[in-house]
Amino acid sequence: MAEGNKNLIIITHGNIGGAQKSVFYLAKKLKLENSEVTVGFGGGEWLRNKLEESKISFHLFARLARGANPFKNFFFIFEIKKFLDDNFFSNVYINSSNALAGALGAKLSESKPRVAFIFHGLSVLDPNYKANLIIKIIYWFYFKFFLLFVDEPVFVCQSNLEIARKLFLVKKAVVLRNEISPEDIRFFTKEDSKKIIRDKIHENLENKFLIGSIGRLDYAKNYEFLINIFSEILKFKNNAVGLIIGEGKERKKYEELIAKNGLKEKFFLVGEIKDAENLLKAFDIFVLPSRYEGLSFTLLEAKAAGIPIIASDVGCNKEAIGEAGIVYRFDDKDEFLNAIKKSFHN
């Protein structure tokens, strides 16, 4: 088999998300360094489209699928082994817990690549993830076993690494923070951004103070916190409008909360917008109230846009925004409202 610097980057699916953006930027970086790179995933249009636009090769794995049970991807062990038997790669970068089982398949293959596993967060093992203790124990053993076949655990922030050490998941690991190049985002003006959002929700946003976020409507993002506290914000900022750009399985729940809080004319679930990060300058304050996080790309993008940021002090959020924003204790309403008031005066 031919020698050389050939890289395979693996992620469970290609639907838009922070880990998917990280994979895409890593693939672009390796290509610019004249390394051969292929991205493997189990389907998803966003990543596929971005790779095609950049002329980066990819492979779709039939046995990779997102789900609550990581063991459902057990057969991925054999699928990746066969792929690596037929195609030599010197390095494999695994980017999601459901794909971690592939580390065993990689080591059993003829390629015998060096394997790195990139923790984009701790998911079920995060202290703020509410799950049955038995489920957490099962996940711990899953990680602990398959990490035996990983040459280099990689974390995207120091805080996640420290938690993993306390959980005895790893002893030695490296921290490599995600980065965004200015040329990666083409920010629209505030006026143009508001016009695009206005046309999407059919509401006049002139002279409105926009507070919100970009992200999937998901348990991890904890957007119910922002919806439930928005009536308090309106008491001292009556022209405020709440917006969340994104889609997900929590939509119905959030719609019910908006109606329950009497916010139908004040808080909007915008839905998906292609390249939504281009619209960040529409926001007067960007909010990320997550339960747990890796190194959020939306925070890095909001920081690059130069807009005020308020984020829960979980995961990598504090490291992501640095001095560019304010963090508050998770689900602490008083701290959050004080952060909002402080942002008005900055």
Domain ranges of the chain: 6-175, 188-344
Rounded mean pLDDT of 38-45? 94
Where does the pLDDT of residue 76 fall: very low under 50, low under 70, confident under 90, or very high at 90 and above?
very high
In this prediction, what percent of the chain has a pLDDT beyond 90? 85
Q: What is the pLDDT of residue 43?
A: 87
Spatial distance between the Cα atoms of 66 and 191, rounded to a whole number of angstroms: 38
Spatial distance between the Cα atoms of 328 and 337, rounded to a whole number of angstroms: 9
Where does the pLDDT of residue 7 fall: very low under 50, low under 70, confident under 90, or very high at 90 and above?
very high
CATH architecture of the region 188-344: 3-Layer(aba) Sandwich (3.40)
Rounded mean pLDDT of 310-334? 94
Domains 6-175 and 188-344 share a fold: yes
188, 194, 199, 203: CA torsion to nearest 10: 170
Does 70 have pLDDT greater than 80? no
Q: Which CATH number fits domain 6-175: 3.40.50.2000, 3.30.70.80, 1.10.3720.10, 3.30.390.30?
A: 3.40.50.2000
| Short-list 303, 324, 326, CA closest to 313 | 326
Rounded mean pLDDT of 105-110? 97
Chain segment 170-221, per-residue pLDDT in tens? 999 999 988 776 677 899 999 999 999 999 999 999 999 999 999 999 999 9
| Short-list 230, 209, 181, CA closest to 282 | 209
Spatial distance between the Cα atoms of 173 and 151, rounded to a whole number of angstroms: 10
